[in-house]
Amino acid sequence: MAEVQLQRVAGPALSLLVLLLGVVNPSFLSRAHPSHASNSISLGRRLSGNQTIVSRGSRFELGFFTPGNSHYYIGIWYKTIPVQTVIWVANRKAPLSNTTSSELKLSNDGNLILLNRSKSLVWSSNVTSLKANSTVAVLLDNGNLVLKESHDSPRLLWQSFDHPTDTWVPGQHVGMNKITGEYQVLTSWKNTEDPDPGLFSHRLKPDGSSNYITLWNGSVEYDHTGEWNGHAFELLPQSTLNQNFIFSFVDTREYKYVTCTMSNTSTLLRLVLDVTGQLKVSTWLDDGQKWMLIWSRPAAQCDVYSVCGAFGLCDQTRNLPC
């Protein structure tokens, strides 16, 4: 009712009315002048319900979402397209039953934490040796959620790119940290409505090579990229066909990883370890308002190990191959 009446008031009278209503009910100010979501979470700020933060260039958004299984998760998705496409999930193993009472915030020890309706800890960035009361979580324009000592600090204490789910995007590193021995591993969703880790994973082979392998159930290798030859992976020549994105392999004293740079930064590109067990590279089509598949590996779904189960048969000529 107040909004209808405000439309009939103009100039100084409107400002005075808003001010008076704000004195009587401070929450009115946030409704009368909704603020744009910032790109960070600092101590004292928390996200719940439909509250989000948005990267500075409005490319990515972080908040609560549901993939359709009646559970809720903290995730990061593309802000600029109509199809919600999630690239990272925090609590994929611990879904929430609602978002109204759940909170994503900074704890007193400086970690980013997720609490459920009972205020029990569901997920944490779990970094030790932090400076309490000084950290800030920032969503960057490449889709990376980072924890820093302060807004101006270049030092990253933690980043979501080091803990990927099923998706890899340009600027993200997938490989290993030679100092800590930690690997970045892509793991498929359990199914299209459940981000819980599925049966398929993709990682750098732990034998000192530049070969990336795709595994079933963490143990059975059914596909690999081949070695990096200085321009592309031996078994992925299709990765060099599009000059808009350039893959590169980096091997230093501290890190070994593959990454990708874009000649046209406005183009959206993602690599997903699909629930089918295939690696799929897609780009967003503005004209068609949909994702277009560029290539997949293995090319045939039937080449995925145990894709139809232990005793199932796979027929690639059928719409439903299993």
Closest CA to 200 of 137, 149, 273: 273
Containing structural domain, residue 251: 165-322
Whether residues 187 and 132 fall in one domain: no
Which CATH number covers residue 281?
A: 2.90.10.10
Whether residues 31 and 42 fall in one domain: no
Q: What's the predicted TM-score (pTM) here?
A: 0.84
Whether residues 306 and 225 fall in one domain: yes
Q: How many domains does the chain have?
A: 3
- HEC string of 30-67 equals HHHCCCCCCCEEECCCEECCCCEEECCCCCEEEEEECC
Give the pLDDT score at 37: 54
Whether residues 1 and 118 fall in one domain: no
SS3 3: helix
Whether residues 249 and 187 fall in one domain: yes
- Give the helix/strand (H/E) hosting 198: strand 194-204
Whether residues 201 and 250 fall in one domain: yes
Residues 41-82 pLDDT 10s: 999 999 999 999 999 999 999 999 999 878 999 999 999 999
Give the pLDDT score at 318: 76
Cα-only R_g, the chain: 23
Instruction: Flag residues of the chain having pLDDT under 50.
Output: 1-36
Whether residues 313 and 175 fall in one domain: yes
Give the pLDDT score at 320: 73
Give the pLDDT score at 158: 96
Amino acid at 88: W
Beta-bridge mates of residue 175: 257
196 and 269 Cβ atoms separated by less than 8 Å: no
